[in-house]
Amino acid sequence: MSSTINSIRGMHDTLPAEMHLWHTLENTVRRVFSSYGFEEIRVPVVEKTEVFARAIGEVTDVVEKEMYTFEDRNGDMLSLRPEGTAGVVRAVLQNGLLYAAPVRLWYMGQMFRRERPQKGRTRQFHQVGAEVFGSAGPDIDAELLAMCQRIWTSLGLNGLRLEVNTLGTAEERAAYRAELHAFLSHNRDSLDADSLRRLDKNPLRILDSKNPGVQALLVDAPVLADHLGEASRDYFSGFLALLDGFGVKYEVNPRLVRGLDYYCHAVFEWITDELGAQGTVCAGGRYDSLVEIQGGKPWPGVGFAMGQERLIELMRINAEPARETPHLYLVMAGEGAVAGGLQLAESLRDRVPGLKIQSNLGGGSFKAQFKRADRSGAPLAMVLGEDELNSQTATIKHLREHKPQEQVGFDELEAWFGAWLKS
């Protein structure tokens, strides 16, 4: 006998018992995005590796160690997408969408990174993201965060805190980078191997270090805010004022730099303390250079991505929605009753929009069928036998409430279930 084949480590199934959580999350973000004028876009799971190498940066863990990259038969290097923004920018440029700017887009889908699997971090994961192209001011940055807050409220999530920072312009970061490099070089003996590797290529990435010793060193390191010009300071203060106006609470974290190289000006992360080390559930910021990096003209952009798996875990903790169940379980006894019952079920689906019916298929005694009805979670069971078909009357039993069973004529079922759904 052949052995069973299991899923790849870090790749996972989403089982029927969990789908109500995913549907609630997805339907909520779809509704909220639509209310802010965003349109959905869907991009390929596989892109040319260059799409991500350009956007994310060659000297990042994502590109250096985490992407699933392979050579196509024609020699092209391809990668499974590790994030959504780069592919959306490629699609926007390729399809000429910038001519209708400002453009508000959102996406949802699977991403892949070869990381060490742990709670809240898997190699296959799902993101929902929003991107705006053609809006240069801090007003859209702040509105995106107000939109996020509306999503959290709609999902019943509590305890999420917002951290924000400014990265200024590319020129300001270059000046800061030089000073930071000098400071870190002087303290080279206190750096770990990852920090030393990043020191000459991109020292700002060291600010992301999780090494306690490196973090202790960074307490005395130069701060980017000290290198910002008046325009950048005005941008950030305007951004914060708008957040205040929206009623969005935040903390300014001067060490927040984000993990990707294309960000500028305002960056942000929504963080929870309820998921352990993987506390960031949504992150993003402004990326005015990314369209140019991908081969287009300079164009302002801003966006964010939220991790669906982490939000699902928070929903379990905070406010898990009810599992989706059928309204009615159809119990049938007798060959004639099965054929007639299935026809009746189809007729009811046509005549009572929204009525969810699960039919008992495969036979079984009344006792066995009622056990299945109970496991289905349906609040009602409708019993059909030969006698019921002959009399054109169905027996309706309440499975979750102490109410007497009812006899309802076939010609009255549409009105009965319609009234029940409304109640």
**DSSP per-residue codes, 82-122:** S-SHHHHHHHHHHTTGGGG-SEEEEEEEEEE-----BTTB-
**β 39-40/46-48 pair status:** unpaired
Identify the pLDDT of residue 259: 57
- Average pLDDT in the 347-366 region? 91
The answer to whether the Cα torsion of 360, 362, 366, 368 is positive or negative is negative
| Most confidently predicted of 76-80, 174-178, 387-391 | 76-80
Both tokens assigned to 171 = 């020129």
- Average pLDDT in the 388-411 region? 91
CA dist list (Å): 52 to 11, 69, 105, 324: 21, 11, 19, 38
What predicted TM-score, i.e. pTM, was given to this entire model?
0.83
In this predicted structure, the answer to whether residue 320 has a pLDDT above a threshold of 80 is: no
| Contacts (Cβ under 8 Å, ≥6 apart) of 201 | 59
Between 30 and 55, name the one with better pLDDT.
30
Which of these, 306, 267, 237, 293, lies nearest to 163 by C-alpha position?
267
Strand, coil or helix: what is 333?
coil
Residue carrying structure tokens 């005015």: 288
Domains contained in the chain, CATH given: 16-168+228-318 (3.30.930.10), 328-422 (3.40.50.800)
Average pLDDT, rounded, for the chain: 89
**Furthest C-alpha separation in the chain:** 93
In this predicted structure, the answer to whether residue 57 has a pLDDT above a threshold of 80 is: no
Q: Mutual orientation of helices 138-155 and 230-246 as an angle, nearest 10°?
A: 30
- Average pLDDT in the 264-292 region? 89
- Count the Cβ atoms, other than its own, within 10 Å of residue 132: 24
Residue type at position 231: A
Identify the pLDDT of residue 63: 65
Which of these, 95, 243, 93, 106, lies nearest to 161 by C-alpha position?
243
| Contacts (Cβ under 8 Å, ≥6 apart) of 48 | 76, 77, 78, 79
Q: Are 51 and 80 in contact (CB under 8 A)?
A: no
pLDDT digits (tens, 9 = 90+) for 209-266: 778 888 888 888 888 888 899 999 999 999 999 999 999 999 998 888 765 667 889 9
141-170 residues labelled b (16+ CB within 10 A) or e (exposed): bbbbbebbbbbbeebebeebebbbbbbbbe
Burial of 109 (0-12, 13-18, 19+ CB in 10 A): middle
Identify the pLDDT of residue 62: 65
Q: Which ranges of 224-307 would DSSP assign to H, the alpha helix?
A: 230-246, 290-293
Which of these, 308, 363, 318, lies nearest to 27 by C-alpha position?
308
- Secondary structure (DSSP) of 302-321: EEEEEEHHHHHHHHHHH-PP
Task: Tell me which DSSP letter residue 382 carries.
Answer: E
pLDDT digits (tens, 9 = 90+) for 60-119: 566 667 889 999 999 999 999 999 999 999 999 999 999 888 999 999 999 999 877 776
Identify the pLDDT of residue 260: 62
When mean pLDDT is compared across 53-57, 67-71, 267-271, 360-364, the lowest value belongs to: 53-57
Identify the pLDDT of residue 331: 94
Q: Are 79 and 67 in contact (CB under 8 A)?
A: yes
| Contacts (Cβ under 8 Å, ≥6 apart) of 339 | none
345-369 residues labelled b (16+ CB within 10 A) or e (exposed): beebeeebeebebbbbeeeeeeeeb
Identify the pLDDT of residue 61: 60
Percent of the chain whose predicted confidence (pLDDT) is above 70? 96
Q: Residue 328 forms beta bridges with which residues?
A: 357, 380
User: Which H or E run includes 369?
Assistant: helix 366-376
φ, ψ for residue 347, nearest 5 deg: -65, -40
The answer to whether the Cα torsion of 400, 401, 405, 408 is positive or negative is negative
